[in-house]
Structure formats: C-alpha cells, structure tokens
Amino acid sequence: MQKPLIDEIKSLIDFGAKKYPIPYKAGNAIRLGPVVLRRRKDNTYILFDSIEQTPISTTYSKHGALALAKLYASKQNINPATELDRQYQKHDTDAMFYQHNYKVTVNDNKKELMENRLDLSLASLSNVVTRLEQIIFSER
C-alpha cells in the first residue's frame, strides 16, 4: 500500500522539477535545469548547456547569469537578460569609477558632481537588478 503512494509522490516531484526547475549548487557550479553556471577567475559567469555540451554565454553578474539560465531552460529568447546584464556591468563600473574619483578629488565642485553621478549609477543599478529579479522569479 505504501509503495504505490511513494511512487506517485516521486512522479509528482519529478514532473514539477522538470516543469519548474529549481537552481541548486553542485560543487563549484549552480545548476538550473540543463544549464550549468560557473564562476570564472575574473568574477564573471559562464553558462553551459549540459545536454548539448556547448557554451551558452558569459555574464558579468550572478543575477544576469540566473536570469539568462532561466530563459534558456524555458526555451525563451535570452536577449533581454543579456542586455540587462550589459546594463548591470555598465552601471556597476560607472559606480566604481565615480566612487574612486569622489575619494581622491579635492575640488568641491567635482566632488559634488561625482556624488550626484554615483547616486544616479546606483539607482540605475538597482533598477536593473529589480528587472533581472523579475525575470528570475517570474512563473513563465
């Protein structure tokens, strides 16, 4: 009596895992369905298709990698995640640049300008992260 019940539960779990893959960490990689994400030495992420044994893409951020992996696993267009990851990289690099210039400058006008630009870059970065998270947590 318990054997058929256990088999039925296993089949429900397997069906749900195939329809809605959950990311999990396996060693030094993150797996989401057929996609394997690995962090490289330069702190970017490379994505592979484990079924076809081919590289998919390289991303700057973990948010971008997870969004791209989710779109790829659900066989959707990966271009929106790729573009958002490029925006993430731009705003993150800009924020580092403005932060450094703010610290080293002695001119008050330039310091104020760097502070304003840093605030804009951080706000834009936050917006991009929110949009990437919408892709990651959407039910499509």
Kindly report, residue by residue over 112-133, the tens digit of the pLDDT: 999 999 999 999 999 999 999 9
Between the CA of residue 102 and those of 39, 92, 94, 99, 122, what are the distances in Å? 30, 15, 12, 5, 14
> Count of residues for the chain?
140
pLDDT at residue 34, as a whole number: 85
Which two three-digit tokens encode residue 88?
Answer: 């993430």
- Give the residue, 75 or 139, on which the prediction is more confident: 75
Handedness of CA 113, 117, 118, 120 (dihedral sign): positive
Model confidence over 10-46: pLDDT tens digits? Answer: 776 666 556 666 777 878 888 888 889 999 999 999 9
Q: What is the mean pLDDT of residues 97-109?
A: 94
Give residues with Cβ within 8 angstroms of 68, minimum separation 6.
47, 56, 57, 59, 78, 81, 82, 85
Which two three-digit tokens encode residue 105?
Answer: 């400058």
Question: 23: phi > 0 → left, psi -120 to 50 → alpha, else beta; which?
Answer: beta
Between the CA of residue 34 and those of 73, 74, 82, 123, 136, what are the distances in Å? 7, 10, 18, 34, 16
Model confidence over 34-86: pLDDT tens digits? Answer: 889 999 999 999 999 988 889 999 999 999 999 999 999 888 999 999 999 99
**pTM (two decimals):** 0.82
